[in-house]
Amino acid sequence: MIKSQPETHPFGTEMLLPDAQARNFLRVRDAHRREIVEDYVEMISELGRTQGHVRTGHLAERFGVSNATVSNHVQRLISEGMILDQPYQPLILTETGRNLAKKSRRRHMLVRDFLMAMGVDAAVAEADAEGIEHHVSEQTLAAFAKFIE
């Protein structure tokens, strides 16, 4: 396969080669698929820590969605091995779910702290971190951590 030369972007910068651009878009689509799983396990972990038990109604309230939406996501989490399948019981993370929740929380806090170190207001940094945390690479997270130190 012959690779084409980078195209010039309308603003004068070089665009990525098609295969590199496709890899970037694939990474973003993969991050979008993981977002809900990461958000749910992180919230279940946090609510479990602060209030002792978590029910679907708690998640519906926190995420601003219907109980039916939460139930659908809970079924996905059960099928992915993130939470235990215990009908009519509080939601409990499996070891896999707990590990993902810790990783997600670490990423969230690191992005938030980086934004605050850059001068972003704490409330805005918290809100922005909620989206960025799912899309930032490990290399970028390491750079954020180094900057904060």
Smallest CA-to-CA distance from 82 within 54, 60, 57, 61 is with: 54
Q: What is the pTM of this model?
A: 0.77
Q: Is the domain defined by 18-148 classed in CATH 3.90.950.10? A: no
Inter-residue long-range contacts of 130-135, CB under 8 Å, 24+ positions, other chains counted: 130/39, 133/38, 133/104, 133/107, 133/108, 134/31, 134/32, 134/34, 134/35, 134/38, 134/107, 135/28, 135/31
The predicted structure's pLDDT at residue 54: 95
Question: pLDDT tens-digit profile of 89-98?
Answer: 999 999 999 9
Compute how many other C-beta atoms are within 10 angstroms of the C-beta atom of residue 71: 13
